Amino acid sequence: MLSDYLPIVLLLVIAAGFAAVNLGITHLVGPRKPNPVKLSPYESGVPNIGDARLRFSVKFYLVAMLFIIFDIEVVFLYPWAVVFKDLLAQGTFVFTEMVVFLGVLVLGLAYVWRKGGLEWD
């Protein structure tokens, strides 16, 4: 059972190890001769003004929320797809119920669209 997850663990270990090893090697091997110009964010000589941490526009929030809501919708589709054939043998309600569920959310999508929620301005 648990050994089924060995590839995933292996992947995680390799990914983390690759990053750590590379960073470690460059840290150890690479030459370091810092000077103020080199340490500035843009070595091209463009002087930096202000802070890099700008306040993001609230529009990103709209996009992120829409993403979450439809993400959850998709999560519901996954077990439905798994049991669809089994339940279809007992009647078509398994199809109808998902049509209703998706129908409500499609109406929601149409609403967002018409309200201009999918446009940036």
Partner 1 sequence: METAVFYVLATIAVASAVLLVLFRNPVYSALSLVATLFAVAGLFVLLNAYFLAAVQIIVYAGAVMVLFLFVIMLLNLGHSEALESTVGRYRLTGVIFLCALLVAQLTAVGTRQLRGPVAENEALRTENVQTLGKLLYTDFLFPFEVASIILLVALIGVVVLVKRETPETT
Partner 2 sequence: MFEIDWNILLPSLVVAGLVLVVLCVDIIRPDNKGGVSGYLSLLGVGVAIWVSLSLWGRSPTHGLGGMLFLDNYALFFNLIILAGTGLTIFVSTGFLEREEGGRSEYYLLILAATLGMMLMAAGADLIVIFLGIELMSIALYILVGFFRRRTDSNEGSMKYLLLGAFATGFLLYGIALVYGSTGTTNLREIELAVAQGRVYTHPMLLGGVALLIVGFAFKVSAVPFHMWAPDVYQGAPTAITGFMSAGPKAAAFAAFFRVMVASLGDLSGDWSGAIWMLAALTMTVGNLGALSQRNIKRMLAYSSVAHAGYVLVALVAANERGIAGGVFYLLAYAFMNIGAFAVIVALGRKGDENLEISGYAGVGFRHPGIGLAMTLFMVSLAGLPPTAGFFGKFQIFSAAVEAGYIWLTVIGVLNSLVSVYFYLGVVVSMYMRQPVGQAHAVSMTPFARVALLTASLGTLYIGLAPTSLLQMARQTVSALL
Give residues in contact with partner 2 (CB under 8 A): 90-91, 93, 104, 107-108, 110-111, 114-116
Residue 14 or 88: which CB sits closer to partner 2?
A: 88
**H helix runs in 44-92, sequence order:** 59-88
State how far the alpha carbon of 61 is from the alpha carbons of 6, 22, 52, 79, 107, in Å: 37, 35, 20, 29, 21
Site for partner 1 in 32-51 (CB under 8 A): 51
Applying CB under 8 A, does 110 fall inside the site for partner 1? no
Which one of partner 1, partner 2, none interacts with residue 95, CB within 5 to 8 A by kind? none
Q: Measured from the CB atom, is 32 or 55 closer to partner 1?
A: 55
Neighbours of 121 (CB within 10 A): 4
